[in-house]
Structure formats: C-alpha cells, structure tokens
C-alpha cells in the first residue's frame, strides 16, 4: 500500500477516483464537425492509459447554437455527440479513468462569424476584448431557450455514460450574470447577488430535473474575478454558499481571476516565468470555508507541488493539465518510482497559443500529443540496431538522439559548443524563459540513461562522421542569424542573438528591425529596455510580433510597457549608414515610396536564421539517398526507403533549422517522425 497522498483514492458521491490527479477541462480544438472523433478520443485515452484518475473532457463544450465555437469546441447541442462521447468514455473507463465534460454557453466570449452566424449574447452589450464581438443583450426568450439547452446537453452527456459534468462559470455566460460590471438586465435576472444567481440556479435545477440527484454535477467558477465592480472574494464565497445550499452542485473547481483579456487570462493560466501555483492557497480557502469537494488547476506543473496541495488538504483533486499535455503518463511514472523520467511541462504555453495560431493544441516539446494516432508516445525498438551519427545537440539533434537510442541504435552526437541546447540555451538565458532549458535537460538525461555518446567542443567535418561508418547520419546543426536583409549597411547591424548572448552590449537608442516576428526581437528589446536604453521595435507587418501569440506576449508587454519601448508597424528598414558616431536608418514602407531617415546608436535585425548546412552538403555526395526524404513515407508514418544496393555509404537526413528557420516544435517533430521509423 502506498502512502503517497497523490495516489490515495477519492470518493466523490458514488464515484471512486483512483488517485488525486486529474486533467481539468481544456479544449485542444481537435473536434471534427464539432464532435470528439478518433483523434480527440485517442488523446484522452492516452492520458487514461497514463493513470490519471479523471479527465474533464472538452473545454467549454457548447450547449447552444448561439454560442458559436470560438476555438473548435465540441458541440454539445448536437445529438450526434452522444455516440462519440460514449466511445470516448468507454475507452477511458477501460483504463479506470473517470470521464466528465465541461458544458457552457460562451456568452460574450465568442464571435458572431463562426458556426451559424448567430449574434453572441450576454447580460449586457459589453464587448469582450479578446473575441471582439458586440453581444446582443439577452431577452427573456433567449434565457428560457438557453436554460433548456443546458439541460438537454447535460442529458446527452448522461446518456453517453459520462461520470458527470462541470459547468463553466468564469468569463462565459453564467458568471456574467453574477457580475455587476457585466449584468445590465432587469429583475428577476439582476439585483442583489441572490437575484444575479437566478439564471445559474434555474440552469442547475433544469439540469437536475433531467439527470436526477445522483449524476455528478460540478461547477468551475471564479470565486474572485479580480475586476473592479466585479466578483469579490466575499461574493465568491457567497456564490459558493448559495450553490452548495441549493443542493444541486457536487463539487467546486476553483478559479481566481478573469479571462477577457490576454493579460487577465495569463494570470488565471500562468505561463513560464510566472509564479507556480499562485491560486492554490486561495482554492484551499474556498475548500476550507465551503466544505464541498474542491478541484483546482493553475500552474501546478510538478509532482512535488501537486503532492503538497493534497497533503496539506488544500485540494481534493489536483489538476495537472498542461503537465499532462507534455507528459501523458505522469501517474504511471509516479507509481513506477520514475518521477525523474517525467517529461517536464516548461510552461511555454505553445499548447494554448497554438489554438488561436494554428487551430489545434500542440506541445512545444512533445510532438506525439494530439498525434496519438500517428506518433505513439512510447518509442518501439527497431528490428535491426544501427549506427546513427548526429551532428548538433540542439532540440532537433537531441530528440533524434533520444528516439534513436530508445529504438536500440548505437548513437553518437557531435556538438561544436561546450554545452547542448543550441538556440534554446540562448533563449533560456532570459530569466523569464529559463524553464526552456528543461527541454534540453530532460533529453540529456534520457540520452544518458540510454548510452548516447556525446562529443562536445567538436565541430564535425564530413570525415569525422564518415570515419564512424554510420548507417544513418543526421544533420541537426541549426542555423545562424540572418541579418543580410538591407540594401546597404548589413555590416553595421547586429543580430538579436548578439544581444541575447551578451556578445554585444545594448545601446542607448536602439532600433530593432523585426522581420521575423518571433520571440528573439522581444527578448532583445527587453534586454535593451532593462539596461535603460530607448528601444523601437519596427516591423513591416500590420501587427507587431505576429508569431508571438496572446499568452506569450503578456510577459513581454509587462516588461516593456513601463520602459522606454515603442512599437512601429508597417515600416521597413531599408538601409543603414554610418553618420559620425551614430547610425542613420533609412526607413521605407511596403505601401508607398515614402522614405525617411532616423538616427540611432544601434540597429538590431531579427530575420530568422540561415541554415548551417555545409556539413550536410559535404556529406550528400557520399550518401546513398543524396539527402532525399520521401515525404509520402514520412507523412504516412512509414520508414524511409533504404536505397539498398545503391552507391554511397549511409543514409543522410537533415532536420530542424539546418533545413530552414522554424520553431522548437517543428525541429523536434522533424526528428521524432523521421527517427521513430529508422
């Protein structure tokens, strides 16, 4: 019998949860036609296999048609959802994992130009800044219809065999009724707090009428939205009491904060560099004062903090949501005494940002997540052990080494630098982004455990590789900053890497020309601004930092906005000339022939990287495949052609930024899908 507090069962009414770890509702946006089909199910089943006690599926599954799917949500108003949810629940139950779903009406937090193009609705016309719709103020017939929709959706989930449901009440329709700031309706929907709870209680009673007293119904609610004229902690406690006394609610899932802006959302779902478990004690207070089963998640990324939360009686169930996006087998590894094998969530929040950027949640360093059907999380041994030589120990090279070693190959890695990490090592020099080194450290530990040989401080030449007689050579040498983008004066500018690495001291009047739109420009700007310099970040795009999505932008803005930093959009740096001790920047635009000259003492260019591909091209003539990748096989998840009997000594592949400037996920995915078939 284990005494680990995290591994103790928890009794929620008639439901025994086998341990204290759950994933809270999170919409990965994998729905097809609004339904949780095979990809969606495989994602949850993987976590069930990994031992999590409960998965709160969906994120904001929609009860009504006038709650358009803002982020490819599950459409709980469709009858067809029942068989798909039933299959998902059945498969997860097969691994002893309980399954619930979060239901909601998004209210103001959606757009009108999705789904059925119905106007969004809210208890006032107040616009939600994030989704930008101007909602229609609810009429009586809307309210009656939506209450019935909630009850219908709950009944569908019960019919699908789910263990329960959770209503979402932070930043959506339900809590908008509670907030004096957002509710402009008349009685009976508005008035004192009890009146503002009328809608929620009507919904809950309608649900109970349909699902009966036994079915588990909880609510994920903001017990303090931290907004002026919003929901205070006292209100939050009172709301909790009213809900509990109504006898309709079985658990609370506690939120503190609100989500209507990127900045506010980031405080509810903190990203890397922000405090760990910032609302845990608050959730513990709600549990202590209200005495209902209490769940909570907000950046509890590691097992030690989760254990503390349960051991100290702060929570009944601890949510480790992003932690499971990065590592689906957390519980299994805890039980096997392999906590140090857990792939760490580094808080990059690519997962959440990616929903808006690319329409699906992906983990920055676990490319199997969301791709369970094609890229299994467990690496299978290869039928034949091979000699694999890799050049480069950045994220792509290390992933290639990890996967090759797990497949049983004999692996040697060359790295020119004294330490592994490549560009990520540079990124991790920013104090706020230090956790990124976890991507490297975890892979180094995995490589060490599987006997990968490393040769650091070794700039591999073609002969160094060839002499090892590899079966497969993989070039993952990354890239170097490309600053050759000007008509004149390329030699007068420095790169963002120069600033990040500390090779060049930040100037006092600095122009950062950001033609890539990715984090290094903002990181460099932060260094300049922190050093007391004036910094102007200029981009020819129509918005600055287009590759940095909402959640990740917030810490940069917080760091820059009270400093001497300015953003200029739609202007392009054309040339730089020396002018005495200063630099004259010639600035143009894509929209006209306009040109102007401005003076700076430092010009920094952020324009991605140029592949470091010399080694690849030196090796190419000696290889059997001449470096060719069979894309059809790659995409289909099949091995690359062997070119058996062809001329040449080995198969040669190039991955990551050594091919072209992309991001960390792309580099690691390149490595995984190639090497897991070698």
Ligand X SMILES: Cc1cc2nc3c(=O)[nH]c(=O)nc-3n(C[C@H](O)[C@H](O)[C@H](O)COP(=O)(O)O)c2cc1C
d(CA 190, CA 407): 63
Residue 299 interacts with ligand X (CB under 6 A): yes or no: yes
Q: Which of 47, 220, 433, 624 binds ligand X (CB under 6 A)?
A: 220
Which entry of ligand X, ligand SF4, none binds 496, CB below 5 to 8 A by partner kind? none
Residue 46 interacts with ligand X (CB under 6 A): yes or no: no
Residue 321 interacts with ligand X (CB under 6 A): yes or no: yes
Q: Specify the residue, 151 or 326, whose C-beta has the smaller distance to ligand SF4.
A: 326
Which entry of ligand SF4, ligand X, none binds 363, CB below 5 to 8 A by partner kind? ligand SF4
Q: Specify the residue, 133 or 678, whose C-beta has the smaller distance to ligand X.
A: 133
Q: Specify the residue, 82 or 283, whose C-beta has the smaller distance to ligand X.
A: 283
Residue 269 interacts with ligand X (CB under 6 A): yes or no: yes
Which H or E element spans position 22?
strand 21-23
What's the DSSP call for residue 623? B
Provide the minimum distance between the beta carbon of 142 and ligand X in the complex, in angstroms, as a whole number: 22
Provide the minimum distance between the beta carbon of 349 and ligand SF4 in the complex, in angstroms, as a whole number: 5
Provide the minimum distance between the beta carbon of 165 and ligand SF4 in the complex, in angstroms, as a whole number: 25
Nearest to 218 by CA among 390, 445, 22, 433: 22
**How far, CA to CA in Å, does 346 sit from each of 21, 191, 322, 433?**
19, 44, 9, 9
Residue 27 interacts with ligand X (CB under 6 A): yes or no: yes
Q: Identify how many contiguous H helices and E strands the chain contains and give both numbers.
A: 23, 27
* Two tokens, residue 16: 């025994």
Which entry of ligand SF4, ligand X, none binds 283, CB below 5 to 8 A by partner kind? none
Size of the site for ligand X (CB under 6 A): 24
Q: Specify the residue, 606 or 664, whose C-beta has the smaller distance to ligand X.
A: 664
Nearest to 251 by CA among 100, 59, 96, 62: 100
CB proximity list for 454: less than 8 A, separation 6 or greater: 393, 412, 413, 415, 420, 447
Which entry of ligand X, ligand SF4, none binds 326, CB below 5 to 8 A by partner kind? ligand SF4
Give the gyration radius of the chain's Cα atoms: 27
Residue 355 interacts with ligand X (CB under 6 A): yes or no: yes
Residue 322 interacts with ligand X (CB under 6 A): yes or no: yes
Residue 320 interacts with ligand X (CB under 6 A): yes or no: yes
Q: Specify the residue, 300 or 525, whose C-beta has the smaller distance to ligand X.
A: 300
Provide the minimum distance between the beta carbon of 259 and ligand X in the complex, in angstroms, as a whole number: 9
d(CA 667, CA 672): 9
Residue 300 interacts with ligand X (CB under 6 A): yes or no: yes
Provide the minimum distance between the beta carbon of 419 and ligand X in the complex, in angstroms, as a whole number: 29
Q: Specify the residue, 26 or 156, whose C-beta has the smaller distance to ligand SF4.
A: 26
Which entry of ligand X, ligand SF4, none binds 130, CB below 5 to 8 A by partner kind? none
**Cβ contact 600:537 at 8 Å:** no
Which entry of ligand SF4, ligand X, none binds 348, CB below 5 to 8 A by partner kind? ligand SF4
Which entry of ligand X, ligand SF4, none binds 507, CB below 5 to 8 A by partner kind? none
Judged by CB under 6 A, the chain residues 135 through 194 that form the site for ligand X are 168
Q: Specify the residue, 76 or 355, whose C-beta has the smaller distance to ligand X.
A: 355
Footprint of ligand SF4 (CB under 6 A) = 322, 325-326, 345-351, 363-365
The dihedral region occupied by 532, where left means phi > 0, alpha psi between -120 and 50, and beta the remainder, is left
Residue 25 interacts with ligand X (CB under 6 A): yes or no: yes
Q: Specify the residue, 102 or 539, whose C-beta has the smaller distance to ligand X.
A: 102
Q: Specify the residue, 290 or 330, whose C-beta has the smaller distance to ligand X.
A: 330
Provide the minimum distance between the beta carbon of 344 and ligand X in the complex, in angstroms, as a whole number: 13
Q: Specify the residue, 360 or 464, whose C-beta has the smaller distance to ligand SF4.
A: 360
Among the listed ranges 239-247, 319-327, 376-384, 613-621, the one in contact with ligand X (CB under 6 A) is: 319-327
Residue 352 interacts with ligand X (CB under 6 A): yes or no: yes
Which entry of ligand X, ligand SF4, none binds 221, CB below 5 to 8 A by partner kind? none
Altogether, the residues listed in the chain come to a count of 678
Provide the minimum distance between the beta carbon of 283 and ligand X in the complex, in angstroms, as a whole number: 11
- CA atoms within a 13 Å half-sphere pointing along the CA-CB vector of 538: 21
Q: Specify the residue, 357 or 589, whose C-beta has the smaller distance to ligand X.
A: 357
DSSP string, 332-364: HHHHTT-GGGSPPP----HHHHHHHHHSS---S
Q: Are strands 54-62 and 98-104 parallel, antiparallel or unpaired?
A: parallel
What's the DSSP call for residue 643? -
d(CA 349, CA 470): 37
d(CA 21, CA 27): 18
The residues facing 454 across adjacent strands are 413
Residue 102 interacts with ligand X (CB under 6 A): yes or no: yes
Which entry of ligand SF4, ligand X, none binds 168, CB below 5 to 8 A by partner kind? ligand X
d(CA 75, CA 153): 9
CB crowding 629-639: b at 16 or more within 10 Å, else e: beeeebeeeee
Q: Specify the residue, 27 or 518, whose C-beta has the smaller distance to ligand X.
A: 27
CB proximity list for 562: less than 8 A, separation 6 or greater: none
CB crowding 263-283: b at 16 or more within 10 Å, else e: ebbbbbbbbbebeebebbebb
92 by Cβ neighbours in 10 Å (0-12 / 13-18 / 19+) ranks as: buried
Which entry of ligand X, ligand SF4, none binds 355, CB below 5 to 8 A by partner kind? ligand X
Q: Specify the residue, 60 or 676, whose C-beta has the smaller distance to ligand X.
A: 60
Q: Give the interface with ligand X as residue ranges (CB under 6 A).
A: 24-28, 59-60, 102, 168, 220, 269, 297-300, 319-323, 351-352, 355, 361
């Amino acid at each position: 019998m284990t005494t680990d507090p995290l591994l103790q069962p928890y009794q929620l009414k008639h439901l025994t949860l086998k341990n204290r770890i759950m994933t809270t509702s999170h919409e990965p946006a994998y729905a097809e036609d609004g339904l949780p089909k095979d990809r969606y199910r495989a994602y949850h089943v993987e976590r069930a296999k990994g031992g999590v006690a409960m998965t709160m599926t969906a994120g904001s599954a929609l009860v009504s048609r006038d709650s358009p799917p803002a982020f490819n949500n599950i459409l709980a108003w469709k009858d067809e959802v029942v068989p798909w949810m039933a299959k998902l629940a059945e498969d997860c139950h097969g691994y002893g994992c309980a399954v619930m779903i979060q239901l909601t009406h998004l209210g103001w937090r959606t757009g009108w130009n999705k789904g059925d193009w119905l106007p969004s609705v809210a208890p006032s016309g107040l616009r939600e800044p994030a989704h930008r719709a101007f909602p229609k103020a609810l009429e009586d017939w809307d309210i009656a219809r939506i209450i019935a929709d909630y009850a219908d959706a709950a009944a569908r989930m019960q019919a699908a065999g789910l263990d329960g449901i959770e209503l979402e009440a932070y930043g959506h329709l339900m809590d908008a009724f509670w907030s004096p700031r957002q509710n402009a309706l008349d009685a009976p929907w508005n008035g004192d707090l009890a009146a503002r709870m009328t809608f929620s209680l009507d919904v809950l009673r309608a649900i109970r009428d349909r699902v009966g007293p036994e079915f588990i119904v909880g609510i994920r609610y903001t017990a303090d939205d931290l907004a002026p004229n919003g929901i205070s902690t006292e209100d939050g406690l009172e709301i909790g009491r009213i809900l509990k006394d109504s006898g309709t609610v079985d658990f609370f899932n506690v939120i503190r904060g609100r989500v209507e802006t990127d900045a506010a959302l980031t405080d509810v779902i903190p990203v890397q560099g922000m405090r760990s478990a910032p609302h845990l004690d608050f959730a513990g207070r709600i549990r202590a004062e209200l005495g209902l089963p209490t769940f909570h998640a907000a950046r509890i990324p590691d097992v030690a903090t989760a254990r503390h939360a349960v051991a100290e009686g702060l929570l009944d169930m601890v949510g480790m949501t992003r932690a499971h996006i990065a590592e689906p087998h957390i519980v299994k590894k805890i039980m096997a005494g392999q906590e140090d094998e857990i792939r760490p969530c580094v808080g990059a929040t690519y997962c959440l940002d990616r929903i808006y950027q690319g329409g699906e949640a992906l983990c920055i360093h676990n490319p199997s997540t969301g791709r369970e059907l094609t890229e299994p999380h467990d690496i299978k041994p290869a039928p034949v052990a091979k000699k694999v030589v890799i050049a480069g120990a950045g994220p792509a090279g290390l992933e290639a080494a990890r996967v090759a070693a797990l497949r049983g190959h004999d692996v040697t890695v060359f790295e020119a630098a004294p330490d592994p990490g490549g560009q990520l090592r540079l990124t991790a020099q920013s104090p706020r982004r230090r956790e990124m080194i976890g991507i490297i450290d975890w892979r180094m530990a995995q490589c060490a455990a599987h006997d990968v040989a490393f040769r650091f401080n070794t700039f591999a030449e073609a002969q160094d590789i060839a002499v090892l007689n590899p079966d497969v050579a993989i070039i993952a040498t990354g890239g170097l900053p490309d600053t050759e983008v000007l008509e004149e004066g390329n030699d007068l500018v420095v790169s963002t890497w120069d600033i990040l690495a500390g090779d060049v001291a930040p100037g006092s009047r600095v122009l950062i020309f950001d033609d890539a739109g990715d984090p290094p420009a903002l990181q460099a700007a932060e260094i300049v601004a922190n050093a007391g310099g004036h910094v102007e970040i200029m981009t020819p795009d129509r918005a600055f930092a287009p590759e940095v999505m909402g959640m990740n932008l917030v810490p940069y803005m917080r760091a820059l906005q009270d400093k001497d930093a300015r953003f200029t959009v739609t202007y392009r740096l054309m040339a730089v000339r020396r002018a005495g001790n200063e630099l004259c920047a010639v600035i143009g635009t894509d929209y006209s022939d306009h040109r102007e000259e401005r003076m700076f003492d430092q010009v920094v260019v952020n324009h991605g990287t140029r592949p470091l591909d010399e080694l690849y091209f030196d090796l190419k003539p000696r290889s059997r495949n001449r470096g060719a990748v069979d894309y059809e096989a790659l995409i289909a998840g099949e091995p690359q052609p062997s070119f058996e009997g062809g001329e040449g000594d080995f198969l040669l592949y190039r991955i990551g930024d050594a091919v072209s400037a992309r991001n960390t996920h792309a580099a690691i995915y390149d490595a995984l899908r190639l090497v897991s078939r070698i």
